[in-house]
A and B are shown apart, each in its own frame.
Chain A
Amino acid sequence: MSPPLLSIRDLRVSFPTRQGIFEAVRGVSFDLGRERLGVVGESGSGKSMTGRAILGLVRPPGRVTAERMQLDGQSILNLPERRMRKIRGSRISMVMQDPKFSLNPVMTVGAQIIEAYRLHAGGAKAEARRKALEMLQAVQIRDPERVMGAYPHQVSGGMGQRIMIAMMLAPDPQILIADEPTSALDVSVRTEVLNIMDRLVRDRGMGLIFISHDLNLVAQFCDRVLIMYAGRIVETLPAQDLHRARHPYTQGLLNSLPRLDAPVARLPVLHRQDSWRDDLPEGL
């Protein structure tokens, strides 16, 4: 087996509050290879904070500590901002939830992609423009010349998200972190965006961290799933074995979803247990 792209041991993110230190992430460990890794949990489980910590986006007074946080064997833990900026975007990229808030509303789509690309890869404007067109084609935008000249409000949500993906993938990163990339999209558009992401990740041999609250979607899309609760990983599963989940929290989450194929009179409700916060998961 090839060494992991990303290796994380005992990652912790904490914030000082008036009531004392609050730990948002409490000892997360995993390795990411050239695979699609899903990170699932409810609000406050620390899934997004894990993604932000990897990218060095936790701002003071937030504190990130880890026994190990390595990208390709190199430590990226608490690098100075100047060095982190070289990694962020060019080696690890992030796609956020809502394209409406992540694209610059007063710049054309083309200008934004070109800017992002030149920031990381440098090179002439004409070269960057060619690359931008190529990326827009790669995310299956039919009329890339027209879209290059459009402003974000002139494109739909699904197209906006494809533009974000194009922008993030232009510098050929090794790792893509996607934080709820399809939650703001309609179901028919969702499939299309996922297909594009899947193909790009596979063709380029990238590692993907797919953060989502949607267990079933993650199980269908990813190779492996981490389930987070209260800042910790409570279970790790191969995606196709999700229905064989052993942790009561995972089972509870799955059961609480209404299903078209299995109608029930009453939905089972999740009874949270204190032990889920602190018991070590099996096999670790």
Chain B
Amino acid sequence: MLNVENLDVWFGHDPDRVAAVTSAAFSVAPGESFGLVGESGSGKSTILRAIAGLIDSWSGRIEVAGKPVAGSRRDRAFYKTVQMVFQDPYASLHPRHSVDAVLSETLRLQGMGDIDRRITRLLDDVGLGRGFRFRYPHQLSGGQRQRVAIARALAAEPRLLLLDEPTSALDVSVQAEILNLLADLRAEHGLTYVMVSHDLAVIGHMCERLAVMQQGRILEIMSADALRRGAGDDPYTRRLIAASAGYSRA
């Protein structure tokens, strides 16, 4: 479904060029859920943004559903295959657009017909129900907003969802609801996920495999089972797993 080879991403120009990602390579099978973990600045979100076409300063090869993409140009067919959900539902929805406006605009952009029926279906899919259709973001809680953002991503009927910290701005009880929703949607629609998170337990819960990143490099790719056992090959991975387990008094 997704194949990334020899990916370099950089920001700025020489002599101030900063390498954000260096020689990243991984592939994700159709229907699989793949995690990217690492600390701030490790390049995990940058990889997602390069795939989505939000960054043009990259080199290497990115293939989505067998087709290579170039630069930051993406055609409509790409966005029918790939959609992204962002971290902060307070920032990613237009404050003066109702849920109805957000979804119908997306559907129209994707050239979909039968918009009325589709909106109802999307709202049902993400567990919001019809009553939310004409609400504005300020009338929604954080979890409800993230459901709208997920509905917007699903509007294009994509096969690959790029999830950038989709629950880290939410309370843990709401996080549980959104993670369950994402798991259900994946099962129902046969979606493929690439999920970025700093929370190893969330990745362990949602993904079968994951890449551990540090300073722009993928240190290793491991299974969620290996993550649970704390069995990283790289000493950094083992340190990261130990530190995420919580605080133990020195």
B54 at the interface (CB under 8 A from A): no
Partner pick for B204 among A43, A198, A260, CB 8 A cutoff: A260
How many residues does chain B have at the interface if contact means C-beta atoms less than 8 Å apart?
A: 33
B172 CB contacts on chain A under 8 angstroms? 42, 213, 215, 253, 256-257
Contact call A186/B171, Cβ cutoff below 8 A:
no
Partner pick for B247 among A186, A217, A256, A258, CB 8 A cutoff: A217
A263 at the interface (CB under 8 A from B): yes
Contact call B176/A256, Cβ cutoff below 8 A:
yes
Using CB atoms, name the residue of chain A closest to B39.
A186
A268 CB contacts on chain B under 8 angstroms? 176
A107 at the interface (CB under 8 A from B): no
Cβ proximity bits B159-193 to A, threshold 8 Å, 1 near / 0 not: 00000000000011101110110010000000000
A216 at the interface (CB under 8 A from B): yes
Complex CA distance for A194 and B206, rounded to whole angstroms:
29
A74 at the interface (CB under 8 A from B): no
Complex CA distance for A215 and B179, rounded to whole angstroms:
19
A284 at the interface (CB under 8 A from B): no
Complex CA distance for A259 and B227, rounded to whole angstroms:
11
Cβ proximity bits B223-250 to A, threshold 8 Å, 1 near / 0 not: 0000110100000000111011111111
Min CB distance A276 to B, Å, is 12
How many residues does chain A have at the interface if contact means C-beta atoms less than 8 Å apart?
A: 32
Contact call B246/A269, Cβ cutoff below 8 A:
no
Using CB atoms, name the residue of chain B closest to A268.
B176
Complex CA distance for A42 and B173, rounded to whole angstroms:
8
Using CB atoms, name the residue of chain A closest to B228.
A260
B205 at the interface (CB under 8 A from A): yes
Contact call B247/A267, Cβ cutoff below 8 A:
no
B198 at the interface (CB under 8 A from A): yes
Min CB distance A39 to B, Å, is 15
B70 at the interface (CB under 8 A from A): no
Partner pick for A267 among B179, B198, B245, CB 8 A cutoff: B179
Using CB atoms, name the residue of chain A closest to B183.
A266
B222 CB contacts on chain A under 8 angstroms? none
Known: A260-B204, A260-B227. A269 touches B244 (CB 8 A): no
Contact call A267/B205, Cβ cutoff below 8 A:
yes
Cβ proximity bits A236-271 to B, threshold 8 Å, 1 near / 0 not: 000000000000000011001111110110111110
Using CB atoms, name the residue of chain B closest to A43.
B171
Contact call A187/B243, Cβ cutoff below 8 A:
yes
Contact call A269/B228, Cβ cutoff below 8 A:
no
A273 at the interface (CB under 8 A from B): no
A220 at the interface (CB under 8 A from B): yes
A154 at the interface (CB under 8 A from B): no
A221 at the interface (CB under 8 A from B): yes
Contact call B205/A258, Cβ cutoff below 8 A:
yes
B175 CB contacts on chain A under 8 angstroms? 256
Contact call B247/A194, Cβ cutoff below 8 A:
yes
Using CB atoms, name the residue of chain B closest to A196.
B250
Known: A42-B172, A260-B228. A269 touches B177 (CB 8 A): yes
Complex CA distance for A157 and B239, rounded to whole angstroms:
19
Known: A256-B172, A260-B201. A198 touches B239 (CB 8 A): no
Contact call B201/A257, Cβ cutoff below 8 A:
yes
A195 at the interface (CB under 8 A from B): yes
Complex CA distance for A264 and B201, rounded to whole angstroms:
11
Min CB distance B206 to A, Å, is 8
B101 at the interface (CB under 8 A from A): no
Contact call A220/B248, Cβ cutoff below 8 A:
yes
Known: A42-B173, A43-B171, A267-B180. A259 touches B246 (CB 8 A): no
Min CB distance A138 to B, Å, is 15
A120 at the interface (CB under 8 A from B): no
Min CB distance B203 to A, Å, is 9
Contact call B204/A42, Cβ cutoff below 8 A:
no
Known: A217-B246, A268-B176, A269-B176. A187 touches B171 (CB 8 A): no
Cβ proximity bits A142-171 to B, threshold 8 Å, 1 near / 0 not: 000000000000000100000000000000
CB within 8 Å of A: which residues of B?
39-40, 142, 171-173, 175-177, 179-180, 183, 198, 200-202, 204-206, 227-228, 230, 239-241, 243-250
> Would you mind naming 15 contact pairs between A and B with Cβ atoms under 8 Å apart?
A188-B239, A190-B247, A195-B250, A252-B173, A253-B172, A253-B173, A256-B176, A257-B176, A257-B201, A258-B204, A258-B206, A260-B244, A260-B245, A261-B228, A269-B177
